[in-house]
């Protein structure tokens, strides 16, 4: 089992997230003792597109990218579409990517990567309907369960969650291995 027990993972989402793409990786990360924080536009509870709910830990107003080791962006069509219109969410994505911290985006989540202008020259994958957006933003688009390019892992759909989560954890584990012991 990977050692990500010191990792501080930020998940950003809002109403309309794909239930499994937020809840399944989040559960796995927590099971492996990562410190997972869910940030959103508003306080309280956000609802997935299939009706599951998740409690928000912090709003974007109170998030500092420097407090976290990695960023995870779930999909769903509504979630990333709303988030890419939020300057703070887009700014967080850019800060994580510019710092070289692990970033994972699944399904429609890469829309935020396009909005943050961080896919140029990167190899990525996504849900088929946004691949043209990714190509137009300068990405090399592939069709596979998980595409890893340096600090970025992207994935296509809920069925790919195991491969996506494993690849994301491997990126986080590499960062953890470089951290000095407490």
The domain spans of the chain are 8-177
Q: How far apart are CA 7 and CA 149, in angstroms?
A: 20
For 26, what's the count of Cα atoms within 13 Å in the CB-facing half-sphere? 22
Mean pLDDT confidence for 64-78: 96
Of 82, 108, 131, 156, the catalytic one is 108
Question: Does 64 qualify as catalytic in the annotation?
Answer: no
Mean pLDDT confidence for 11-25: 97
Global pTM reads 0.95
Enter the CATH code of domain 8-177: 3.40.50.880
- The reported pLDDT for the residue numbered 175 is 77
Query: How deeply is 44 buried, as exposed, middle or buried, from its count of CB atoms within 10 A (0-12, 13-18, 19+)?
Result: exposed
Mean pLDDT confidence for 140-161: 97
Is pLDDT of 78 > 60? Answer: yes
- The reported pLDDT for the residue numbered 3 is 77
């Amino acid at each position: 089992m990977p050692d990500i027990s010191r990792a501080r993972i930020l998940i950003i989402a809002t109403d309309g997230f794909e239930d499994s793409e937020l809840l399944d990786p989040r559960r796995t990360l927590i099971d492996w003792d990562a410190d997972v924080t869910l940030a959103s536009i508003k306080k309280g509870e956000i609802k997935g597109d299939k009706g599951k709910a998740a409690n928000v830990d912090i709003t974007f107003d109170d998030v500092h990218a420097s407090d976290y080791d990695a960023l995870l962006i779930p999909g769903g069509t509504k979630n990333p579409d709303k988030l890419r219109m939020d300057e703070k969410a887009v700014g967080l994505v850019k800060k994580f990517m510019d710092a070289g911290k692990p970033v994972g985006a699944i399904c429609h989540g890469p829309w935020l990567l396009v909005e943050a202008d961080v896919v140029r020259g990167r190899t990525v994958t996504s849900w088929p309907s946004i691949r043209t957006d990714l190509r137009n933003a300068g990405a090399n688009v592939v069709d596979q369960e998980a595409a890893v390019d340096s600090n970025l892992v992207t994935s296509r759909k809920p069925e790919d969650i195991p491969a996506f989560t494993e690849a994301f954890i491997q990126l986080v584990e590499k960062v953890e291995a470089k951290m000095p012991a407490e």
